[in-house]
A and B are shown apart, each in its own frame.
Chain A
Amino acid sequence: MYEVQSYHLNQGAVELPACMYKVENFHGSTVDAENGDESPELLNLESRQTDILNRLYELKAVVDGLSKTVLTPDADLDVTEINHACSEPTIRTAISLDSVLGKNSGALRDIVINANPSEVPLSLLVLHNLLSEQYRVLSSVHVHSSVQNVPSQLWNCLGKRSICRSRREYQLGFTLVWKEVLKPQMKFSIQSMCSIEGEGNIARFLFALLGHKYDVVTSTQIDSWVDIAIFQLKKGSSKEKAAVLRSLNSALGKSPWVVGVDLTLADVVLYCVLLEMGFEDIPANIQRWVKCCENLACFNLALKPLK
């Protein structure tokens, strides 16, 4: 019925091995290695080393470039891209939500955040944008019946959402509910977690979903900055605020971002708190840093509609 061409050339009989597995002569190879310097293993090792060195050089170049853009306020470059390029091979492991949040239940993992419309948690909006850059996020805004007359820009503060796709296709749900609450609160997995209260704590959780890994010192520094931002800068007296601004200024004198050479949660929270206070009489280093933040798309997109 069908004519099929022979798929192997008829070049004499194929020699089949007599034993089950064919193994190279072990003794013979050691003798070879002793004799010749250019064994395949050694070559392999050599090439891997040059590879690593090359990557290190590349990295160095990227970091140099990055510090340049960060230190020049008017750089039009979108820093996130470079940022990612540099951080991807080193810090960030290839992560999925499963590795961060554990088992997958097969349904949408929905993060519910209750916030009071009179006190918009700006940092969470920025983090929402950061999450949407990395995952397929289904974001929705609701108004709880306990509040009335929510301004229209808060109704669509998470941007436009596509309606028609099935909820199953998203990796993460981000449900923001404007509600009469004293503190922002987050509810995620109601069976195993109690609700998390406070903008800072929610921000930490959301940032952790991005999968950055820090050493103990760095992560403690970040935590400490978040606390400072929420408790001293936001709610403190003018004296405390001035002290925070001083220490922030000196920190930004040493490194491009608040903690190290990367954008961290500390930057997000501090920027948002400063934005609420208004950028009046702030020291030079902070001013430069503010401009850097504003260059990033995630800040821009999240906060512009609210101004």
Chain B
Amino acid sequence: MTKGEAVGVPEDQAQSKKAAKKLQKEAEKAAKKAEKQAKLAAENQADEEDFAKDKYGILPMIQSQEKLDRVLVHVKNLTEDKADQMVWLRARVHTSRAKGKQCFLVLRQQQFNIQGLVAVGDHVSKQMVKFAANISKESIVDVEGYVRKVEQKVESCSQCDVELHIVKLFVVSAAEPRLPLQLDDAIRPETGDEEGRATVNQDTRLDNRIIDLRTMTSQSIFRLQSGVCQLFRETLIKKEFVEVQTPKIISAASEGGANVFTVSYFKTSAYLAQSPQLYKQMCICADFDKVFCIGPVFRAEDSNTHRHLTEFVGLDIEMAFNYHYHEVVTEIADTLVQIFKGLRDRFQTEIQTVGKQYPCEPFKFLEPTLRLEYLEAVAMLREAGVEMGDEEDLSTPNEKLLGRLVKEKYDTDFYILDKYPLAVRPFYTMPDPHDPKYSNSYDMFMRGEEILSGAQRIHDPQVLTDRALQLGIDIEKIKSYIDSFRFGAPPHAGGGIGLERVTMLYLGLHNVRQTSMFPRDPKRLTP
């Protein structure tokens, strides 16, 4: 538009003249190009014999033919104090960029990367540079080179103080040239879309999970998740808990019947466990006192929300107490606080890496954990203009609003809500001795979303039968459950946490599928 206006009125003439000129120019260009190519070919032929022939190439498939006495250094260990040393390393080619007589490679190993340089010189021939430039992205290479300090920091790499001057370069495993998604696109912050650059949507990520898992963000998320598990174990074992393994194929649904998976089991059918509830309680009756277990939990709820999975990892705790179930509540809350503290102290780099893509405030908590009662929560919500009954269950929006209110007043992302109304809890929940409308049950929240739901369980078979009858549950079906309390059962309480949810909410992510390595939901069974 603007161009046309600038040129002016005599369009036809000008255009035809221009076109002619253009054609001529192009012809000239083509001729030059051909000439150049011929020259290049001649040159190539000229120094056919390549002096660096055995310093690069594609390695034969490693079939454990020989055991080399070679030390492969991890990329994360390449720092300034390794400067001017000759090292071997194995890494992926993250990107390669050829520029005349040199080629820059970004070599990546897990969430660390370093800049590598192949430049024509004493050790490196032109052909080698060309070979380096042609290695497809994500190929695995073995590289030997000198670690050199750099004048200017390499901002794009995690090892920003050094680069690697490559002298040998072998491809161990070549990747196909076309990738289903680009790693750089997958780690671009969602907020950065003002540049109009591509981001990868959730489904594409999950369809190509193994590539998505290579991103620095995913690497950090799952390293942190492993940390959650480890800290959970560490803390509980220090508190003298026993780790138990419970069966996942069970004969009867433990919590309500509706949302269980049925599997055919020889001539009858069985169910996949919704929680190790029953078995944890049996362990308590079998005098294990304090038990925990980490294992898969199945929920057949057909809900496609950001926080529901059909299979997830449950961290379950059950503990016998002396006189008051708050003994258990404090123990569980303390365990979680220890996990948060451990993550804060040991996984700072991972938290920051995730924060680069998904910016989020650091997780805040109080020690000892804040404990509010249901009635107070209802009062807070009412004050904020929510209309709800005293014994009504918290809806998800109210849960979030309450989280915000608590955050504003107490500045904590983690709190306990105690004394839920009995009506909204399962039949095995112990009623409150002072007010039968309420119960000795509690939920714990992170960033306004429920992560743990627990209660003091009824350990008296008579009371348990009464409660079940009140709620219209078929006594025959839960007979074995009730029977386990007949031979002396200590008072006990417990709760279960979802590992994925804890990781998600600790990092302030928005979808639980991001923290599940191979998520399962009503619509996804693969990969």
Given that A106-B379, A143-B367 are contacting pairs, would A114 and B409 also be in contact in the complex, using a CB cutoff of 8 Å?
no
A144 within 8 A of B: yes
What is the distance, in angstroms, from A17's C-beta to the closest C-beta of chain B?
50
CA distance A166 to B433 in the complex (A): 11
Cβ contact within 8 Å between A191 and B366: no
Cβ contact within 8 Å between A191 and B384: yes
Residues of chain B lying within 8 A (CB to CB) of residue A187: 408-410
Q: What's the interface size class on B, roughly?
A: 20 to 34
Residues of chain A lying within 8 A (CB to CB) of residue B363: 145
Among B189-197, B230-238, B246-254, B369-377, the stretch that binds chain A is B369-377
A101 within 8 A of B: no
Given that A142-B367, A168-B373 are contacting pairs, would A163 and B324 also be in contact in the complex, using a CB cutoff of 8 Å?
yes
Given that A168-B375, A190-B405, A191-B384 are contacting pairs, would A145 and B410 also be in contact in the complex, using a CB cutoff of 8 Å?
no
CA distance A112 to B382 in the complex (A): 19
Residues of chain A lying within 8 A (CB to CB) of residue B370: 142, 175
A53 within 8 A of B: no
Cβ contact within 8 Å between B412 and A190: no
For B369, the closest partner residue in chain A by CB is: A142
Which of A110, A145, A146, A177 interacts with B340 by CB under 8 Å?
A: A145
Given that A177-B410, A179-B411, A191-B384 are contacting pairs, would A105 and B367 also be in contact in the complex, using a CB cutoff of 8 Å?
no
Cβ contact within 8 Å between B379 and A177: no
Residues of chain B lying within 8 A (CB to CB) of residue A110: 376, 409
Interface residue ranges of A159-201 to B (CB < 8 Å): 163-164, 166-168, 175, 177, 179, 187, 189-191
B326 within 8 A of A: yes
Cβ contact within 8 Å between B366 and A177: yes
Cβ contact within 8 Å between B378 and A177: no
Cβ contact within 8 Å between A145 and B434: no
What is the distance, in angstroms, from A119's C-beta to the closest C-beta of chain B?
18
Cβ contact within 8 Å between B382 and A145: no
A95 within 8 A of B: no
A107 within 8 A of B: yes
Given that A105-B382, A108-B376 are contacting pairs, would A144 and B412 also be in contact in the complex, using a CB cutoff of 8 Å?
yes
CA distance A211 to B30 in the complex (A): 96
B364 within 8 A of A: yes
Cβ contact within 8 Å between B344 and A145: yes
What is the distance, in angstroms, from B341's C-beta to the closest C-beta of chain A?
8
B12 within 8 A of A: no
Cβ contact within 8 Å between B409 and A145: no
CA distance A279 to B370 in the complex (A): 38
Residues of chain B lying within 8 A (CB to CB) of residue A164: 324, 326
Residues of chain B lying within 8 A (CB to CB) of residue A106: 375, 379
For B382, the closest partner residue in chain A by CB is: A105
What is the distance, in angstroms, from A91's C-beta to the closest C-beta of chain B?
32
Cβ contact within 8 Å between A107 and B373: yes
Q: Which of B326, B344, B376, B434 has the most CB of A within 10 A?
A: B376
Residues of chain A lying within 8 A (CB to CB) of residue B324: 163-164
Interface residue ranges of B394-448 to A (CB < 8 Å): 405, 408-412, 419, 434
Cβ contact within 8 Å between A163 and B326: yes
Interface residue ranges of A60-75 to B (CB < 8 Å): none
Which of A107, A143, A166, A167 interacts with B366 by CB under 8 Å?
A: A143
What is the distance, in angstroms, from B487's C-beta to the closest C-beta of chain A?
29
Cβ contact within 8 Å between A107 and B365: no
B368 within 8 A of A: yes
Residues of chain B lying within 8 A (CB to CB) of residue A168: 373, 375
Residues of chain A lying within 8 A (CB to CB) of residue B240: none
Cβ contact within 8 Å between B364 and A107: no
B476 within 8 A of A: no
Given that A105-B382, A166-B373, A191-B384 are contacting pairs, would A142 and B364 also be in contact in the complex, using a CB cutoff of 8 Å?
no
CA distance A144 to B414 in the complex (A): 11
B383 within 8 A of A: yes
Cβ contact within 8 Å between B366 and A145: yes
For B434, the closest partner residue in chain A by CB is: A166
CA distance A36 to B280 in the complex (A): 90
For B324, the closest partner residue in chain A by CB is: A164
What is the distance, in angstroms, from B383's C-beta to the closest C-beta of chain A?
5
Interface residue ranges of B329-351 to A (CB < 8 Å): 340-341, 344
What is the distance, in angstroms, from B335's C-beta to the closest C-beta of chain A?
16
Residues of chain B lying within 8 A (CB to CB) of residue A146: 364
Interface residue ranges of B257-275 to A (CB < 8 Å): none
Cβ contact within 8 Å between A107 and B326: no
Cβ contact within 8 Å between B411 and A114: yes
Residues of chain B lying within 8 A (CB to CB) of residue A112: 409-410
CA distance A107 to B377 in the complex (A): 9
CA distance A168 to B437 in the complex (A): 14
For B367, the closest partner residue in chain A by CB is: A143
CA distance A112 to B411 in the complex (A): 10
What is the distance, in angstroms, from A270's C-beta to the closest C-beta of chain B?
31
Cβ contact within 8 Å between B383 and A144: no
What is the distance, in angstroms, from A220's C-beta to the closest C-beta of chain B?
32
What is the distance, in angstroms, from B515's C-beta to the closest C-beta of chain A?
21
Interface residue ranges of A94-126 to B (CB < 8 Å): 105-108, 110, 112, 114
CA distance A191 to B379 in the complex (A): 12
Contact digits for A131-149, partner B, Cβ 8 Å, 1 yes 0 no: 0000000001011111000
Cβ contact within 8 Å between B409 and A190: yes
What is the distance, in angstroms, from B410's C-beta to the closest C-beta of chain A?
6
Cβ contact within 8 Å between A105 and B365: no
What is the distance, in angstroms, from B377's C-beta to the closest C-beta of chain A?
8
Residues of chain B lying within 8 A (CB to CB) of residue A177: 366, 410-411
Cβ contact within 8 Å between B366 and A144: yes
Which of B367, B373, B383 interacts with A145 by CB under 8 Å?
A: B367
CA distance A276 to B9 in the complex (A): 88
Residues of chain A lying within 8 A (CB to CB) of residue B344: 145
Given that A142-B366, A142-B368, A179-B411 are contacting pairs, would A105 and B379 also be in contact in the complex, using a CB cutoff of 8 Å?
yes
For A169, the closest partner residue in chain B by CB is: B434
Residues of chain B lying within 8 A (CB to CB) of residue A114: 411
CA distance A110 to B365 in the complex (A): 18
Residues of chain A lying within 8 A (CB to CB) of residue B365: 144-145
Q: Which of A105, A142, A145, A163 has the most CB of B within 10 A?
A: A145
For A143, the closest partner residue in chain B by CB is: B367
Cβ contact within 8 Å between A167 and B409: no
CA distance A28 to B366 in the complex (A): 77
CA distance A254 to B382 in the complex (A): 51
Residues of chain B lying within 8 A (CB to CB) of residue A167: 371-373, 376
Cβ contact within 8 Å between B379 and A107: yes
CA distance A177 to B340 in the complex (A): 18
Cβ contact within 8 Å between B410 and A191: no
Given that A163-B326, A191-B384 are contacting pairs, would A144 and B376 also be in contact in the complex, using a CB cutoff of 8 Å?
no
List 16 other contacts, CB 8 Å, given A145-B362, A167-B376.
A106-B375, A106-B379, A107-B376, A107-B379, A140-B368, A142-B367, A145-B363, A145-B366, A163-B324, A164-B324, A164-B326, A166-B373, A166-B434, A175-B370, A177-B411, A187-B410
The 6 listed contacts between A and B (C-beta, < 8 Å) are A106-B375, A107-B378, A107-B380, A145-B341, A145-B364, A166-B434
| Chain A residues at the B interface, C-beta cutoff of 8 Å | 105-108, 110, 112, 114, 140, 142-146, 163-164, 166-168, 175, 177, 179, 187, 189-191
The 5 closest A-B pairs by CB, nearest first: A107-B379, A142-B366, A107-B376, A105-B379, A143-B367
